[in-house]
Amino acid sequence: MDFNKVLALDLDGTLAETAGDLIAALNVVLASDGVDPVPLEAARSLLGAGGRALIERGYRRAGLPLARDKLDELFAGFLDYYNAHIDVHSHLFPGCEAALDRFAAAGWKLAVCTNKMEHSSKLLLGKLGALDRFAFVCGQDTFGAAKPNPRPLLETIRACGGAPATSVMVGDSITDIQTAHAAGSPVVAVDFGYTDTPVGELGPDRVISHFDQLWDAVRSLT
């Protein structure tokens, strides 16, 4: 049986620089509770696991407890603000569009697999003019599981008609690397994303520093 070649990419810190808008939304939420704002330079250690985790990490950074029911309330406010200001500072990383075009021309199915909520993911990709490039967009809520659980990646690959062994995950953090390993897919890590540990130390199959390098990295794995 023939399977499509699937390139599944993380969104925040991989496809797009989104830290400015995410941290701005976090700081609106923190300010509503009298918590000091988080500086943008702290983003690398806070982002990567979705909005709820971002809020939890913001409170933990301030040394404050956060009950589950309050987190749900804050997350709703976070999403409202973030979705309304989703592309103020965000942009695709250099070389991203050209790289995606090359894979699409070679017959690869392109997908997004992120811990962002699906609606926010599609909204952002649409604002950045990239949504139509992807055959499937999987958010944290699409299948009721978040990375590093492998289900989002496995279901994304399946939705694109692919198989894990012949698909490649591209991400920027330990979350993406663990997801790919658990799914049985090779993984390419970008070193310009959101992780406070150098991504090359986290066990990816390849590391790239620019999207111009993605084609050769993926071809070396497939």
More confident residue, 137 or 194: 137
How many Å apart are CA 182 and CA 25, to the nearest integer? 31
Of 208, 197, 154, 202, the residue nearest 178 (C-alpha)? 202
Q: Which of 118, 121, 183, 187 is nearest to 148 (CA)?
A: 183
Query: Tens of pLDDT along 183-194?
Result: 999 999 999 999
Bridge-based pairing of strands 109-113 and 187-190 is: unpaired
Between helices 68-84 and 19-31, what is the axis angle to 10°?
130
Going by CATH, does the domain composed of 6-17+90-221 fall within 3.30.1050.10? no
Would you tell me how many other CB atoms lie within 10 Å of the CB of residue 20? 15
Of 10, 12, 21, 172, the active-site residue reads 10
Q: What is the CATH number of domain 19-84?
A: 1.10.150.240
Residue reference for tokens 């055959």:
135
Q: What six digits make up the tokens of 120? A: 């926010």
| One-letter amino acid of 104 | A
Q: What is the pLDDT of residue 1?
A: 54
Is the alpha carbon torsion for 44, 198, 48, 222 positive or negative? positive
What phi, psi does 93 have (nearest 5°)?
A: -70, 150
The Cα–Cα gap between 14 and 170 comes to 7
Which 8-state DSSP code applies to residue 147?
Answer: T
Indicate whether 179 pLDDT > 70.
Answer: yes
Residue range 70-108, pLDDT digits in tens: 899 999 999 999 999 999 999 999 999 999 999 999 999
Q: Looking at residues 128-141, what average pLDDT do you find?
A: 97
Half-sphere exposure at residue 146, Cβ-oriented, CA atoms within 13 angstroms: 13
Q: What is the pLDDT of residue 2?
A: 65
The CA–CA distances, whole Å, from 159 to 10, 80, 142 equal 16, 29, 12
Determine whether 10 is an active site residue: yes
pLDDT higher than threshold 90 for residue 63: no
Predicted confidence at residue 193, as pLDDT, reads: 92
Mean pLDDT of the chain: 94
- What are the domain boundaries of the chain? 6-17+90-221, 19-84
Beta-bridged to residue 113, according to DSSP, are: 138
Distance between CA 148 and CA 207 in Å, rounded? 19
Element (H, E) at 18: none
Query: Which residue would you say has higher pLDDT here, 96 or 35?
Result: 96
* Angle, alpha carbons 173-176-182 (nearest 5°): 140
Q: What is the pTM of this model?
A: 0.93
